[in-house]
Amino acid sequence: MKPKLIFLALLMLIFSSCQNQVKEKVSTKQPNILFLLADDLGYGELGCYGQETIQTPVLDDLAKQGMRFTDFYAGNAVCSPSRAVLFTGKSSSFNTVRGNSGNYSNDRWMRVALKKDEITMAEMLKDAGYQTGFVGKWHLDNPNDVSTWAFNRGFDFAVQEQWGSRFGGTQYDEQMHWINGKQDSVYYHVNEWECKDDFRTKLAFDYLDKIDKEKPFFLFMSYRAPHGHERSIGNTELYMDKGWPAKERLHAAKITLLDKQIGRMLKKLEEMGELENTLVLFTSDNGPHHEGHDPEFFNSNGDLKGLKRDMYEGGIRVPLIAYWKGKITSDGTTNHMAGFQDLMPTFAEVAGIELPEQSNGISILPVLKGEKQVQHENLNWEFQLDGWSRKMPDGGFRQSARIENWKGVRYGINSETELYDLSKDISESNNIANKHPEIVKQVNDLFEQRSKTPGFPRGGVVQTYRAKDRHESLY
């Protein structure tokens, strides 16, 4: 063979070897995880879940390309305890946080932060080599203790709002967002953006532009919409022609603009060449709110009974859309019963790492991939409604549990347990507890399966002890 031909053959061999190494490098990189969380979005507020008026084309299309869950549950009925379940993989009856605030036996209900020895999903993934980013609402901290903020709970980069006047949290139209604890800050000005989620998406893009493309990332987008406290937005034209009341037009616009920001995010990942290697999950932290708008106007909870703060299906059953190109069957729908505690185990399996022992969830990766899925025997929720400056005799203690298609609900520890058959009565309108005492007993037994945690006493009842025994009053 002529020297020139030998040289060309060697060159082609080297080039082919390099290409194979690149392909191998790409294929062995751990998958990215993009988690998208809406704030108070109802089960019936997306087109793919039956909404007929509010437009959500991006999420509807994402559901067609991926998988839609019909029986997925938030961690709880309001933001803090729901997010606590999400971040620790522990269901509400075994979680540190079971309400937006807990009791410290001083006649006030105050915020309760996650314990320092509880591993968050961000800490789990960061230890596995993931780059971790967070943008939005954290709500799992003590505002006065920066060590409990998102940046110090496993996120390399965290931009979060903070409530309270000295944290820049009282002006809804001009709100401070803290960067990496208190290292820096940036203000959201309502007139400069279509909505707060537009602003937060830009912050996420700034983060993504700086990541190491050779390493996987976990990005948690904690959106604002359609929470009632975003009382004005920059886009004042959307749905103007509908003739709706101003508060309803604002509510619908926030959801449609959220949908738009998710479209921007997916396009960004595609442009980066990362979308194909990214598991995308979208859900809501609890059921729809009635703060500033009427949930009946858009049928925000679909056929479900109850709203945010309720233990009925409308308060805790939420949308879940999963997308992973080439890994999840397109236009799939599953009635697999799952909840927030299952997402930390899912992320651990996706990353190929060990799940912390604290979690009592079950990975849903098998059902996403069309494989045999382990089922929950039951799901169980516990919630303390009261908080901030008010105090109820029983703390607004509420419980619910699901065993297959049986759903039990109890408002108050001394109240009778209601029972519904969800296979026939999705709206929980026909209490059949008197016809199935054996099922009611199973539900009540579940209600007793709980751990003790400071701040959230059983039944919400605060008892008085001697000073040296005061710690006991917190259980």
Same domain, residue pair 36 and 97:
yes
Q: Is residue 403 part of a domain?
A: yes
Same domain, 355 and 213: yes
Residue at 15 is within a domain: no
Amino acid at 224: R
Position 455 scores a pLDDT of 81
What number is the average pLDDT over the span 267-285?
98
Q: Are residues 97 and 35 in the same domain?
A: yes
Residue 257's CB: how many other CB atoms inside 10 A?
Answer: 23
DSSP sequence for 243-311: ---HHHHHHHHHHHHHHHHHHHHHHHHHHHT-GGGEEEEEEESSS---SSS-TTTTTTTTT----TT-S
* Pick from 8-17, 379-388, 418-427: least confident: 8-17
47-50: list long-range contacts, CB under 8 Å, 24+ apart.
48/319, 48/321, 49/302, 49/319, 50/299, 50/302
Is a pLDDT exceeding 70 seen at residue 327? yes
> Residue 135 contacts by C-beta under 8 Å, 6 or more apart in sequence?
158, 159, 160, 200, 203, 204, 207, 219, 220, 221, 222
Question: Does position 143 have pLDDT exceeding 70, yes or no?
Answer: yes
Q: What is the pLDDT of residue 472?
A: 39
User: 């230890």: which residue's tokens?
Assistant: 127
**One-letter identity of residue 178:** W
Judgement on whether residues 157 and 304 belong to the same structural domain of the protein: yes
Per-residue model confidence as pLDDT tens digits over 61-80:
999 999 999 999 999 999 99
Q: How confident is the model over 329-340, as pLDDT tens digits?
A: 888 999 999 999
User: What is the residue range of 237's domain?
Assistant: 31-368
* Between 399 and 473, residue with greater pLDDT: 399
From 322, 344, 368, the end of a domain falls on 368
User: Strand order in 397-403's β-sheet?
Assistant: 379-384, 397-403, 406-411, 418-421
Report yes or no on 292 lying in a domain: yes
The secondary element (H helix, E strand) that includes residue 21 is helix 3-28
Residue 332 is inside which H or E element, if any?
A: strand 332-334
pLDDT averaged over every residue in the chain: 90
Report the percent of the chain where pLDDT is more than 90: 78
Q: Is the pLDDT of residue 407 over 80?
A: yes
Taking residues 131-149, what's their average pLDDT?
95
Check whether residue 146 and residue 274 sit in a common domain.
Answer: yes
Does residue 23 fall inside a structural domain? Answer: no
Q: Is residue 98 part of a domain?
A: yes
**pLDDT of 4 over the 70 cut:** no
* Model confidence at 260: pLDDT above 50: yes
pLDDT value at position 460?
Answer: 82
Mean of pLDDT values over 347-376: 97
Nearest to 77 by CA among 327, 309, 232: 309
pLDDT recorded at residue 150:
98
Reduced DSSP (H G I as helix, E B as strand, rest coil) percent helix, strand, coil of the chain, to 5: 35, 20, 50
Q: Is the pTM of this model over 0.85?
A: yes
State the pLDDT at residue 464. 47
Give yes or no for residue 244 having a pLDDT over 90.
yes
**Is there a single domain that holds both residue 354 and residue 422?**
no
The pLDDT value recorded for residue 385 is: 86
Beta-bridged to residue 178, according to DSSP, are: 160, 185
Domain count, the chain: 2
Give the CATH number for residue 77. 3.40.720.10
Q: Is 399 helix (H, G, I), strand (E, B) or coil?
A: strand
pLDDT, mean of residues 242-246: 97
pLDDT recorded at residue 303: 98
Domain-located, residue 56? yes
468 and 435 co-located in one domain: yes
Final residue in a domain of this structure, among 313, 345, 368 = 368
8-state DSSP, 357: T
pLDDT band at 443 (very low <50, low <70, confident <90, very high): very high
Do 385 and 250 reside in the same domain of the chain? Answer: no
Residue 5 within a domain: no
The two three-digit tokens of residue 217, written as one number: 């990332």
Identify the domain boundary among 336, 368, 400.
368
| Cis upstream peptide for 226 (omega within 30°) | yes
On whether both 121 and 175 belong to a single domain, the answer is yes
- How does residue 169 score in pLDDT terms, banded at 50, 70 and 90? low
Report how far apart, in Å, the C-alpha atoms of 411 and of each of 381, 435, 475 are: 12, 20, 19
State the average pLDDT over residues 117-146: 96
